[in-house]
Amino acid sequence: MKILHTSDWHLGRSFGTYGLLPDQEAFLQWLITTAEQNDVELVAIAGDIYDRSNPPAEAIRAFNSVVVSLNAAGIEVAAIAGNHDSAERVAIYSAFTQARGLLLRGGYPTAQATSDSGPVGRQRHDLVAIRDFSDGPLAIAAIPFLDPRLIPTDFTLLDPDDGPFTHNQVVTACAKAAAAEVPEGMRSLAMAHGFVAGGKGSDSEKSLIATVGGTDHIGASCFEPFSYTALGHLHRPQTVRKTETIRYSGTPLPYSFSETGPKSVVLIDMDAKGECSVSLIEVPCGKGVRTIRASFAEVSGMSADAEHLVRVELTDHAPIREAKRRLLPLFPHLVELSLVNLNPPMSPHHRQGQGAPSLAQQVQDFLEVATGAEAAIDDFDLITEAFGEVGLETHDASLVREAISERTHNGSTGTEESGTEAA
């Protein structure tokens, strides 16, 4: 059978001012076609279906639509809640969807008494679902994001007297219990959402929970009993511990400027014994990301680019008037603009060893840094008069004003019209 592993759709997300939902919907249509063309029988979504716990209606409709389309094509879907999703909203549908081609898991598994042979009072936590496919059954251990601070009283895999617990301890307990529930000799798929030790993050992942010393990094060894483990949370596609069968699919689209590499989904060809052949299918949808660091003059001379979401880092030492508006014709998807060299130079009064500058001298320094030229008399008067109106005295204003006037009169440098826009 073939499985398609994907995760971290973050439906409804925006990238700065750029709304991503149209690109996300294009990805979902591509996903349906790709699954059909590759004879996929199961699509595994490893968490963060939505970007927030209360997603917009159009994001919910997009998810419902892709599930209906996949099911109509004879393809089942298994999905878990991630840290961005509402576990309760996902879990509430679990009982209704399990028999209809959609396996959903969110929140802590419910403890259930069992009549299986074993110790009296033994409990199961409904961690494993067994589904039949063209070449035999598959045991699916779907472990959603589980916040260790919200452990319910009926979760018996950990002794509450031993708490508080880390995310690692909770997931490890669930993975071990799930592995024990898989019938002997049956192939298996684990799904989990979290930061597995050895993974590499990016700038767009939300911290799972407050941790100390990396204690919430999940140990990869707990997933070794499974034929394949589909992970979510980290946005870069990658393997863990250099094994092809414990891996992150990454996001289908870039969600930060650190995600410059190609995006992909994972195609797993799993035989009846659980042996896997793994390959990546690159996602052709959406826009790439690009960071430009240069002066405003250099950026203004570059070729137009409408294919990327662009971040511009201007290296000019003074603000550029209406910089973003002036660059938008070149870069219509300019979502971030900053001035990276605006650290004010040391006050000339400090350099001259005159101690801390007076308020009037600070006004002069501010105007020179802000405009990149000598302070203008009119601007100086406007600011110092405003200070006076609110009770801030600039005792040496006349002396500083006289010095400015003299320097301007001598033509030591011209003045420029100031601009203050930053991204």
**pLDDT averaged over the chain?**
84
Out of 245, 263, 282, a domain closes at 282
Q: Is the pLDDT of residue 421 over 60?
A: no
Q: Do residue 125 and residue 27 come from a single domain?
A: yes
- Estimate to the nearest angstrom the gap between the alpha carbon of 108 and the chain centroid: 24
Out of 282, 301, 331, a domain closes at 282
pLDDT tens digits, 179-198: 999 999 999 999 999 999 88
Q: How many CA within 13 A on the CB side of residue 23? A: 22
Q: Do residue 334 and residue 257 come from a single domain?
A: no
Q: Do residue 224 and residue 311 come from a single domain?
A: no
137 CB neighbour count, 10 Å cutoff: 14
Band (pLDDT 50/70/90 cuts) for residue 272 is: very high
Q: Do residue 80 and residue 115 come from a single domain?
A: yes
- What is residue 212's predicted lDDT score, i.e. its pLDDT? 37
pLDDT tens digits, 199-249: 888 777 766 654 433 457 899 999 999 999 999 999 999 999 889 999 999
One-letter amino acid identity for 250? G
pLDDT tens digits, 360-381: 778 877 777 666 567 777 877 8
Is 403 contained in some domain? yes
Q: Which residue has the higher pLDDT, 317 or 223?
A: 223
CATH number at residue 46: 3.60.21.10
Q: Do residue 399 and residue 300 come from a single domain?
A: no
Q: Do residue 11 and residue 113 come from a single domain?
A: yes
The number of folded domains in the chain is: 3
Is 153 contained in some domain? yes
DSSP per-residue codes, 104-129: EE-SSPPPEE--SSSSTT-EE---EE
**Contacting residues for 4 by C-beta, under 8 A, at least 6 apart:** 31, 34, 35, 38, 40, 42, 43, 44, 265, 266, 267, 268
Q: Do residue 401 and residue 273 come from a single domain?
A: no
Per DSSP, helices labelled H in 53-186 are 57-72, 87-91, 94-97, 167-181
Q: What global pTM score does this model have? A: 0.78
Domain hosting residue 303, numbered range? 288-339
Is 173 contained in some domain? yes
The vertex-283 CA angle with 278 and 289, nearest 5°, equals 125
Q: Which long-range contacts (CB under 8 A, 24 or more apart) does 114-118 make?
A: none
- Estimate to the nearest angstrom the gap between the alpha carbon of 371 and the chain centroid: 37
pLDDT tens digits, 111-166: 665 555 443 334 556 789 999 999 999 999 999 999 888 888 888 898 888 878 89
Is 293 contained in some domain? yes
Average of per-residue pLDDT across 287-295? 97
Q: Do residue 317 and residue 237 come from a single domain?
A: no
Q: Is the pLDDT of residue 403 over 60?
A: yes
Q: Do residue 140 and residue 83 come from a single domain?
A: yes
Q: Are 287 and 23 in contact (CB under 8 A)?
A: yes
Q: Do residue 252 and residue 305 come from a single domain?
A: no
Q: Do residue 73 and residue 205 come from a single domain?
A: yes
Is 420 contained in some domain? no
Is 189 contained in some domain? yes
Is 414 contained in some domain? no
Is 417 contained in some domain? no
Q: Do residue 181 and residue 232 come from a single domain?
A: yes
d(CA 266, CA 236): 12
Out of 254, 282, 310, a domain closes at 282
Q: Are strands 276-282 and 288-294 parallel, antiparallel or unpaired?
A: unpaired
